[in-house]
A and B are shown apart, each in its own frame.
Chain A
Amino acid sequence: MSNDSYVTDDGRTIGPTVMEMKNITLRFGGVKAITDISFDIREGEIRAIIGPNGAGKSSMLNVISGFYVPQEGEVWYKGAKRPPMKPYQVAEQGIARTFQNIALFEGMTVLDNVMTGRLRQMKANMFEQAIWKGKAEREEVENREVVEKIIDFLEIQAIRKTPVGRLPYGLKKRVELARALAAEPSILLLDEPMAGMNVEEKEDMSRFILDMNDEFGTTIALIEHDMGVVMDLSDRVVVMDYGKKIGDGTPDEVRNNQDVIDAYLGVAHD
């Protein structure tokens, strides 16, 4: 836990710790998915979690977003210990995420999908919504303006009235990002934002992630397999293997860590 801020080489300010995982252990029956892992996420940084398949990265993200409750360990968020929570309560606290295999609402338009991300900010009750005129309509318009900015930012204006089910994969990923961003999260969790994309789409996505962090100051924690992308984007990297943390630090530190090299390249067993 650190309370000081510092400025990175490219001029962004990294604030104090916003979330801290303390000695998290997660078991499924006899299988230990995560063993005694601790790390922190600081305000305004891009934090990557990497590791080979089955290392427990997605499980870690699911612990943060409340799908799994770890058997041991504590999650500290904004300086307070977080009690076990349902996923929607975690979302209400300002943690948004995307999924590895897109989880959009296929029957709804892009606009409605992104608007759904604003539900934390829209407070009109059922009666006000039934009457519509007044608070409900005012909120709808105010939030629409915010959503339009995000739609603009992610360059999906042309498809805003298209049902999501009809979109190609790359665009869906972008819409999902828009929906998560619309929530104005304190922490944005991205589960493999570039999985299954070609180089061009990856470049677009990287640009969006950097811009998001730069313009809105969004704190981002991401899981990614593409090493080049991770090393370029992130401020600090956690490396996991077989549910254990084997490295933590800046991309350069991690790159030169012997354990990490072993995990990725393999090591001779005699």
Chain B
Amino acid sequence: MFYREAGDFKTTYSADNQTFPIKIDRVGYYVALVVAFLIIPFMINDYWANAILMPFLIYSIAAIGLNILVGYCGQVSLGTGGFMAVGAYACYKLMTSFPEVNIFFHVLLSGGVTAFVCILFGLPSLRIKGFYLAVATLAAQFFLVWLFNRVPWFYNYSASGQINAPERTVFGVPVTGPNTEAWATYLFCLVFLVICAVIARNLTRGMAGRKWMAIRDMDIAAEIIGVNPLKAKLTAFGVSGFFIGISGALFFALYLGAVEVGEAFGITKSFLVLFMIIIGGLGSIFGSFAGAAFLVLLPVVLKVVGVDMLGWPTDIVAHLQLVIVGGLIVLFLILEPHGLAQLWRVAKQKLRLWPFPH
């Protein structure tokens, strides 16, 4: 009744091809932007920023990146943690080597460096597919973590082997280091998320996205109509790496501040981001957001319900959380293999007809 496309006529092809073809979606998108940019920064506190908003923003970027590779191009990757580490260490090296350059460019460059590394590890994808490619990217994960642990140049020969983000400012406001304010780091990440999401959407609705999906759906047919498989796969690895690198850089510099590579960017991180896009929905930008929100919020919600409301011991709730996440993933794979994004699509379909289903 309220969600209608009737009467919303498109008269040009560009109008038909826009990101939100239905008016109410468009309005919702602008409202969300206004809330995110103009309202949340004034209400945010440290708890909200650290427990929910920052991880959500950063994981969303990583999920969008991985979704381009896995969901759109069909190349399974288990190396996300390793690639995030590349972004983090690239950012650290850039921050310490060129302190006069703005951190904004450091983060972008870290994305570029990660894109390059990702393309390098994507080269075998021309020859191997599916599980075998997953194992090859798994090798990337272990190799990269090993590299950042063992080569002291990467952590500037510090005694602890950790990397620490020095203080950097944007427009005079510190965004990294110990003296940051929640709203500043939040806005910095939000800007990157919006940029990444818009770029991802533009690429996926255009020819690049079609080439990726063609490779995913049937690579032989894609080749016969003129898609260069090597180029299509490597651009997917590159774009994916760019986003994942940005998220890794933000995760290190703005969220954690100090990183020990095995702990922060281990194999569990790869799986976490992969679960996000599987639960959120493969091949959907909205799904990346939904999946990230789900897996970031779930522990918080469980903690609030379990510890604060029911008064259970913290360790039991923490273990219970693992069980529940595992169960939910299995349940999702059985009930809705296309994830939250598909649920949302079905809901919208129903809403269009509601309350008269026929």
**A112 an interface residue at 8 Å Cβ cutoff?**
yes
B22 to chain A, nearest CB (A): 13
- Say yes or no: is A92 at the interface (Cβ < 8 Å to chain B): yes
Contact A140 B14 (CB under 8 A): yes
Q: Does A253 contact B (CB under 8 A)?
A: no
**Shortest Cβ gap from A85 to chain B (Å):** 11
Chain A positions 65-120 with a Cβ under 8 Å from a chain B Cβ: 65, 67, 86-88, 91-92, 96-97, 99, 103-108, 112, 115-117, 119-120
CB distance from B336 to the nearest CB of A (A): 16
Residues 148-180 of A, flagged 1 when their CB comes within 8 A of B and 0 if not, give 100000000000000000000000000000011
When chains A and B are docked, how far (Å) is the Cα of A115 from the Cα of B207?
Answer: 8
Count chain A CB atoms within 10 A of each CB in B17, B210, B213, B216 and give the residue with the most: B210
B318 interface hit (Cβ, 8 Å): no
Q: Is the CB of B227 within 8 A of A119?
A: yes
Which residue from B220, B224, B235, B283 sits with its C-beta under 8 Å from A126?
Answer: B235
- Report the stretch among A24-32, A129-137, A232-240 that lies at the interface: A129-137
- Evaluate whether A137 and B210 lie within 8 angstroms (CB atoms) in the complex, with A88-B229, A106-B217, A117-B225 already known: no
Q: In the complex, which of the residues B199, B218, B228 contacts A88, with contact meaning CB atoms closer than 8 Å?
A: B228
The answer, among A97, A131, A148, for a CB contact under 8 Å with B224, is A97
Chain B residues in 8 Å Cβ range of A137 = 14
Cβ distance B201 to chain A, nearest Cβ, rounded Å: 9
| Contact partners of B217 in chain A: CB under 8 A | 104-108
B228 — which chain A residues lie within 8 A by C-beta?
88
Query: Does B355 sit at the interface, judged by CB under 8 A?
Result: no
Q: Which of A92, A96, A136: most chain B Cβ within 10 A?
A: A136
Report B206-232 residues with CB < 8 Å from chain A CB. 206-208, 210-211, 213-214, 216-218, 220-229
Interface contact A130-B211, CB-CB below 8 Å: no
CB contact under 8 A between A87 and B223, given known A119-B210, A145-B13: yes
Beta-carbon nearest neighbor of A129 in chain B: B206
Q: Residues of B contacting A92 with CB < 8 Å?
A: 226
Partner of B225, one of A112, A131, A180: A180
Task: Report the Cα distance A126→B211, complex, angstroms.
Answer: 12
Instruction: Please report the C-alpha to C-alpha distance between residue A224 and residue B213 in the assembled complex, in whole angstroms.
Output: 30
| Residue picked from A112, A120, A179, most chain B C-beta under 10 Å | A112
Question: A13 CA to B152 CA in the complex, in Å?
Answer: 74
For the complex, what is the distance from the CA of A124 to the CA of B208, rounded to whole Å?
9
What 1/0 mask marks residues of chain B from 184 to 222 whose CB sits below 8 Å from any chain A CB?
000000000000000100110011101101101110111
Report the separation of the CA atoms of residues A111 and B208 in the bound assembly, to the nearest whole angstrom.
15
Are the C-beta atoms of A91 and B224 separated by less than 8 Å? yes
Query: When the two chains form their complex, are residues A91 and B202 in contact, meaning their CB atoms are under 8 A apart?
Result: no
Residues of B contacting A88 with CB < 8 Å? 223-224, 226-229
CA distance A158 to B175 in the complex (A): 52
Category for how many chain B residues contact A: 20 to 34
Known: A91-B226, A144-B13, A183-B225. A105 touches B199 (CB 8 A): no
Taking a contact as CB atoms closer than 8 A, the residue among A120, A132, A141, A180 that contacts B13 in the complex is A141
Residues of B with C-beta under 8 A to A67: 224
Q: Indicate if the CB atoms of A183 and B226 lie closer than 8 Å.
A: yes
A129-B203, A130-B203, A140-B17 given as contacts; is B210 within 8 A of A103 (CB)? no
Residue of B nearest to A91 (CB): B226
B12 CB–A CB distance under 8 Å: yes
Q: Return chain B residues, CB-CB under 8 Å to A105.
A: 213-214, 216-218, 221-222
Chain A residues positioned under 8 Å from B202 (CB to CB):
129-132, 136
Q: Which of B203, B210, B216, B239 contacts A115 (CB 8 A)?
A: B210
For B225, list chain A residues within 8 Å (CB): 91, 96, 116-117, 119, 179-180, 183
For the complex formed, measure the closest distance between the CB of B191 and the CB atoms of chain A, giving whole angstroms. 16
Q: Jot down 16 A-B pairs with beta carbons below 8 A, ordered by A.
A: A86-B223, A87-B223, A88-B227, A91-B224, A105-B218, A105-B222, A106-B218, A107-B283, A108-B214, A115-B210, A116-B222, A126-B203, A129-B203, A129-B207, A137-B14, A144-B13
6 cross-chain pairs, A with B, having the tightest CB-CB distances, nearest first: A91-B226, A103-B221, A105-B217, A132-B202, A144-B13, A129-B206
18 A-B pairs besides A103-B218, A116-B211, A116-B227 with CB distance below 8 A are A86-B223, A91-B223, A96-B225, A99-B224, A104-B217, A106-B218, A107-B217, A112-B210, A119-B225, A119-B227, A124-B207, A131-B202, A136-B202, A140-B13, A140-B14, A140-B206, A179-B225, A183-B226
